Structure formats: structure tokens, C-alpha cells
Amino acid sequence: MPTFVSVRVIHPELRDIYLNSDYTISAGKSPADTFSVPTGRTTFATIDDDDCVDFEAPLVVTSQDAGKLLTIILAPVIPPRPI
Amino acid sequence: MLVPPRALTNRVFALLAPGITLGFALALLAGCAYPERNRPAARISDRQGYQYHLLEPTGLEDTLVIVTASGGGTRASALALAVLKGLDRVELAGGRTLAQEVDLVSSVSGGSVTAGYFAFAGRDGFDALERDFIRRDGMKPLLWGVLNPVGLVRYFAVPGPERIDLLIDYLNQQLFHDATFQALIDRDTRPYLVLNAADMVEGVPFPFTQRKLDLLCSDLAQIPLAEAVAASAAFPVALSPVTLKNYSPCAAQKQPWPPSWVTNNLDPDGTPQRDGIWYANPARATLGRVENAYALGDVPGRDDDKLYVHLLDGGIADNLGIFEPYRMLTTQDALPSFLTRINRGDIKKLVFVAVNARSFATSELDQERATPGMIDMLMASINAPIDRATAGTAAQLRELLDNAFRQIILADPGKEQLFRDLAANTALISIDFEAIVDSECRRKFHAIPTSWALSKQQVDAVMAVGPALLGSDPAFADLQRIVGGTLDAPLPSVAEACRLVDLAQQ
């Protein structure tokens, strides 16, 4: 049975966050919003004005994390990568 | 005049012998060429092709309406149509009906005929579907298509057409007229269609979505609807699989490849079991491994390449067609992710109608001491898992969603109100013969065979019981409240449907 955690992106701030390479819809904004994700690995990313991924980080969630609120810092993608 | 079986056999053989001989002769002369079912993609992008988010939204913007349709031959096609007609009777503000507000229809096998045609023609196609498919004897053209000299040559000997082409040809002739998924893009309206087959090697669902086809570097828009419906309904042995070519890797795929939504579900070598994705979420891990193999395709130096995907009846893996909608509701792996939209507060209400035409026909095997023969054993080995996979699935779905949403609240108390409101505005309706209270009536509906040919009386009974079960479901009142809908006239009662199934038994 999958479990869920909540995740808050604390860097970069005030950016739209995209999950698991779904760039069709922003999942919410950093750092205000929290994102519910299932156990396993989820990729968090931001895209710039040129539709390139400029910050990104994967987060591995194990069953021991169930029910927790985690925070994550995204790393810059150099050079930014087209989506 | 009654013809003795042996004499009949001799006559049939005499009729077929020339075809058989010619067929084998051609088979020896010809090489092994197979039909090309799918074409390579020139471009891969979530911003083009058949995608949920690119279709015009329905009028109920904060309400997600999902309908799933199970397998079960024409019985399943008819029950799914009957329920859609029932939803069409729920009138909404602005003159639209609930059938016009369906956002997603996901289906398997017999249910895929109705789901596919509903996405193709909308509610305007209800009459044509009933007249040209459900009320026609589909077995005759399927059997005669092969049991004649020309058919034997065409489907068994000459490389090219396969047995599944009988069904594809019939579906095209009766309903789809060679339309491809491009027709759904051009129609530009929901419901978004997810036809589910099963990867016969991996035993996992294979939904015909562009995201899945991206992994094969293939273009969904060019795949004929009849082909995808037939793949979803390719009953093992009787019909051959639909085989898709894997064009991956290809230039159209962007880096990083495989995409993160695939590799995210793989454990790097050496990951301790306790920290592994498989341990935490086996469903994601299993699909991740298969999807990674699709995405890698032809890898030099490996002997386990996935160069082709052989697709059979989706019922092998999920006979209700709920796997992909559930994945959309509880992960960010599928496109669309409804979990993301719920999290954003875009989806505040959920209507989920699961149509289950599960068969529970009694078997003569249980009345005989004789050891079941090979055919009996083969059919039992195919049917048992399909039927078992559907029993009580709606209850499981309810439990899964409840559990998932409860855990999200646990993880983030800030989301409590959002998910409590969603729970209060969720109607999960399960259309299932099992819900018929009268045991004799229930038994008669369960006894309607899985076939592409039903009698007029059997179809009449199924067409009546669909809306009757919809209206009698305890959650139907919630459904009406959630969508603000009213009935134009009372739906048929289960008792009326039972009277009709009595007639079908006579």
C-alpha cells in the first residue's frame, strides 16, 4: 500500500514547481505550497522563460517517511535544459 | 433436416479443403512479413498530440467525472452504453447532461468498444453504437471471416493480416471507419479516452496514451481506434495479439532519456531493500522496470531488448480499467496527474462510475465427474484471473482512495480541509450485477454469456439494468447533489430489468 509525504521546496523561491517532468501544469509555488507525493522517487523542477529546466532535484521517499513534511532545495541545472 | 455431426464435419472439411491446401501452399512460398501497427514519432512533446490537457474542458470545471468500463464481450459494451445513457438522463444547469461532462473514460475489452465510440462520436453516437454493434451478431462475421477458403488464406496463410484483423476489420466496418486517434484530437472535446490492453509478456496494463507511446517513440495520433479497441479486446488464443514495434531509441526523444517519471521508479543497484522503491511502492517499481525497458528499446550489447510489445485483452491485467485512473489520482507518474490538480485545488469534486459486467456463469464442469479437457482447462486458466481481478474492485478502489487521501492529510495537516471537502464531494458508484438484490434475477444476469452476439432480449435486459443499477446505487443521490443534476424522468427500476431478463431466459 503506497504511503504519502508532503514536500515543501524552499529554494529557489517564488517559482512554479513541476513534478516528474509534467511541464503541462504547475503543481504549485515555492515555498508557500506543499506537494503531496507517494513513496518512491519524485523529481521537482522549475522552468525558466525559455522553457528550459533551470533548477531540479530528485527526492526519494521511503515508507519510513510516511506522514512527514519534508523540505527540499533544488540544484541549478547548468546549462538549463530544454523541456 | 438435422445433420449428424460427423457428416457435418465432413461437409465443412470438403468446403474448406481447397482453402487449407492453398493456404499452406502460400504460407510455404511467402516470407514472414507482419502488419505494421504503429508508426514512429517525428516529435515528442507533451504539448502536442492526444493529451488530456489539450482537449477543451467540460463545463463542470471543479468536478472530475470518470467512467470506467470493464470487459465481458457485448454484455460489457451494452452495460457501459446503458450507464452512459443513464448519465445522459441527468440534466445539469445550462441544458447539458452529465454524459457530456465525462472527463475521462477508461476501459477494457468489450467496454472499450463503447468507450472508444463514445470518445469518437459523443452522445450523438449512442443510437449508432446500439444499432450497428450491440444489437448485431458479431460472431457470424468474425467466424465466417475466417471459416471460408478466402478467409483461411487471408488470416492463416498469407503473411500480413492476423486473426486480430478480423476484429479490427469488423470494428472499422461497423463503427470507426478507419478513424485514428487524430479524429479525437480534431474533435477537441472530452472525454479523454484511455483504452487498456495488457502486455502479454510482462502481465501489466498497457494504456494507449501518448505518454506510454512516447516510450516506444511512436505516434498515438496515427493509430487506428479500431486497432487499439481490438488490442484491448484481444481475447487470448481466439485472437492474436496486436504487436507494436518499439522504435526507441530515436532522435525525437529528449535528454535525459529515459525520462525522470520512468527512472524515478527504479532502484539504483545496491539500494538496501528497506530503502527501495520496490519495498515502499511495489506497483510503481514494477511499472518502472517495464517502462524503462520500453524506453531503452534496442540497446547494443544486451540480449533482453524490448523490440516489440505484444498486446492482449486488457482484462489479463485489470478487467475494470481502473488501474490508469487510479494511477492518475494517486501519483505524478501519469499524464494527466489528477493528484497534482487536487493538490492545486482545481478538482474539488469527484464522480467515479465503475461499470463492471463481470460474468459469473455456472459451469457444467461442476456437475460432471469427468476430468476437464484441455480446452476447458485453457479457458479456465484465462477466465479465472480475469473474473477474480474484478470482484470487489470498487470497494477496493474506495478503500485505496480513502487511505491515500487520509495519509495525505496526515502528512500535511494544512491539506486537511481540502481533502475533507473532496471526500464529502465524492460519489463512487459501482455498477455491478452483484448489486441486484433478487438472487434469481442476479443469477440470470450473471448467466448472460461473454460473446460478441447476444439475443435481442438479452440486450434489452442489460440496457434496462444499467440505468436501474445507476439509479439504485446508494451514492446516486450524492452524485446528483455534487453535480447539481436532476433526472428528466425516473430511471428504470431493477424490478423492470429483472422482468426483461426473465424474457431473455425463456
B415-469 pLDDT, tens digit each: 888 888 998 999 999 999 999 999 999 999 999 998 999 999 999 999 999 999 9
Residue B189 contacts A where some CB pair is shorter than 8 Å:
no
Say what the pLDDT of residue B154 is: 63
Residue B478 phi, psi (nearest 5): -60, -45
Tens-digit pLDDT profile for residues B408-419: 887 788 888 888
Rounded CA-CA distance B440/B60 in Å is 40
Q: What is the pLDDT of residue B506?
A: 74
Residue B124 forms contact with A (CB below 8 Å): no
Closest residue, chain B, to A44 (C-alpha): B260
Put simply, the answer to whether B335 touches A24 (Cβ < 8 Å) is: yes
Does the structure show a pLDDT above 70 at B117?
A: yes
Give kind and range of the element (H or E) at residue A71: strand A69-73
Residues of B in contact with A40 (CB under 8 A): 264-265, 277, 280-281, 284-285
* B166-180 pLDDT, tens digit each: 899 999 999 999 999
Tell me the one-letter amino acid at B104. Answer: L
Q: Do B408 and A43 touch (CB under 8 A)?
A: no
Q: Which is nearest to B503 in space by CA: B465, B477, B467? A: B465
Q: What percent of chain B has pLDDT over 90?
A: 60
ipTM of the complex: 0.94
Residue B18, pLDDT > 60, answer no
Residue among B281, B336, B404 whose CB faces A40 most closely? B281
Can you say how many angstroms the Cα of residue B480 is from the centroid of all Cα atoms in its chain?
26
CA B414 to chain centre: 37
CB contact under 8 A, A38 and B254: no
pLDDT at B380 (0 to 100): 59
pLDDT the model gives residue A27: 96
Q: Which residues of B are less than 8 Å from A20 in CB distance?
A: 260-261, 264, 332-333, 337
Whether A22 and B412 lie within 8 Å, measured CB to CB? no
pLDDT of B277 reads 82
Q: Helix, strand, or coil here: A59? A: strand
pLDDT of residue B462: 98
CA atoms within 13 A on the CB side of A51: 9
Cross-chain CB nearest to B411 (options A4, A42, A62): A4
Greater pLDDT, B266 or B302 = B266
B451: cell is: 460473446
pLDDT at B387 over 90: no
Residue type, position B490, single letter: P
Residue B12 has pLDDT above 50, yes or no: no
Q: What are phi and psi of B103, to 5 degrees?
A: -90, -35
The confidence score (pLDDT) of residue B125 equals 98
The per-residue pLDDT for B9 is 43
In angstroms, the CA B220 to CA B218 distance is: 6
pLDDT for position B161: 72
DSSP 8-state assignment for residue B362: -
Closest CA relative to residue A21, chosen from B263, B421, B17? B263
Q: How far is CA A71 from the centre of its chain?
A: 10
Tell me which of A5, A6, A59, A70 to substitute to probe the interface with B (most B C-beta atoms closer than 10 Å).
A6
Among B306-315, B372-381, B482-491, which stretch is predicted with the lowest mean pLDDT? B372-381
pLDDT tier for residue B360 given thresholds of 50, 70 and 90: low
**Cβ contact, residue pair A40, B284, below 8 Å:** yes
Confidence category of residue B302, pLDDT binned at 50, 70, 90: confident
Q: What pLDDT digit, counting tens, does each position of B99-113 carry?
A: 999 999 999 999 999
User: Which residues of chain B lie closer than 8 angstroms to A36, CB-CB?
Assistant: 339, 343, 408, 411-412, 415
Sign of the Cα torsion B113, B125, B462, B457 reads: negative
Q: How far is B275 from chain A (nearest CA, A)?
A: 6
Identify the closest residue of chain A to B408 by CA–CA distance. A4
- Report the pLDDT value the prediction gives residue B83, as an integer from 0 to 100: 98
What number is the average pLDDT over the span B192-196? 98
Determine whether the interchain pair A67/B410 forms a contact, defined as Cβ–Cβ distance below 8 Å: yes
Determine which of B297-301, B388-392, B419-423 has the lowest per-residue pLDDT on average.
B388-392
Please say if the pLDDT value at position A44 is more than 80: yes
Interface test with A, best of B44, B264, B335 (most A CBs within 10 A): B264
The angle formed by the CA atoms of residues B80, B108 and B163, to the nearest 5 degrees, is 115
DSSP letter, residue B386: H
Contacts of B370 (CB under 8 A, 6+ apart): none
Question: E strand or H helix at B91, and its extent?
Answer: strand B90-91
Residues in chain B: 506
Query: Across the interface, do B259 and A25 touch by the CB < 8 Å criterion?
Result: no
Residue from A8, A36, A69, A77 to probe the interface with B (highest B Cβ count within 10 Å): A36
Distance CA B424, CA B149 (A): 61
Please tell me the predicted confidence (pLDDT) of residue A46.
Answer: 98
pLDDT at B299: 84
Tell me how far apart the alpha carbons of residues B74 and B82 are, in angstroms, rounded to a whole number.
12
Q: Is B275 on the interface with A (CB under 8 A)?
A: yes
Q: How far is B180 from chain A (nearest CA, A)?
A: 24
For chain A, which residues lie within 8 Å of any Cβ of chain B, measuring from their own Cβ? 1-6, 19-28, 33-43, 58, 60-64, 66-69, 81-83
Lowest mean pLDDT among B68-82, B159-173, B391-405: B391-405
Instruction: Give B156's DSSP letter.
Output: I
Least confident of B146-150, B251-255, B396-400: B146-150
Question: Residue A6's beta-bridge partner residues?
Answer: A36, A69
CB-based contact A38 B264, cutoff 8 Å: no
CB contact under 8 A, A20 and B332: yes
Residue in chain B closest to A8 (alpha carbons) equals B412
- The whole-angstrom separation of Cα A51 and Cα B149 is 59
Closest Cβ opposite residue B332 in set A19, A39, A83: A19
pLDDT of residue B5: 44
Integer Rg of chain A from CA: 12
Model-level pTM?
Answer: 0.90
Q: Which of residues 239-258 of B touch A (CB under 8 A)?
A: 254-255
H or E element that contains B296? helix B282-296
pLDDT in tens, B262-280: 999 998 888 888 878 888 7
For residue A27, the chain B residues in CB contact (below 8 A) are 332, 340, 343-344
**Residue matched to cell numbers 532535484:** A57
DSSP secondary structure letter of residue B372:
P
Coil/strand/helix, residue A55: strand
Question: CB B340 to CB A3 under 8 A?
Answer: no
pLDDT at A77 over 90: yes
| Strands A69-73 and A4-11, sheet pairing | parallel
pLDDT band at B374 (very low <50, low <70, confident <90, very high): low
Q: What is the mean pLDDT of chain A?
A: 92
Q: Give the residues across from B207 on adjacent strands.
A: B196
For residue B122, which of B26, B54, B56 has the smallest C-alpha distance?
B56
Of B264, B407, B415, the CB nearest to A43: B264
Taking only Cα atoms into account, the Rg of chain B, rounded to an integer number of angstroms, comes to 23
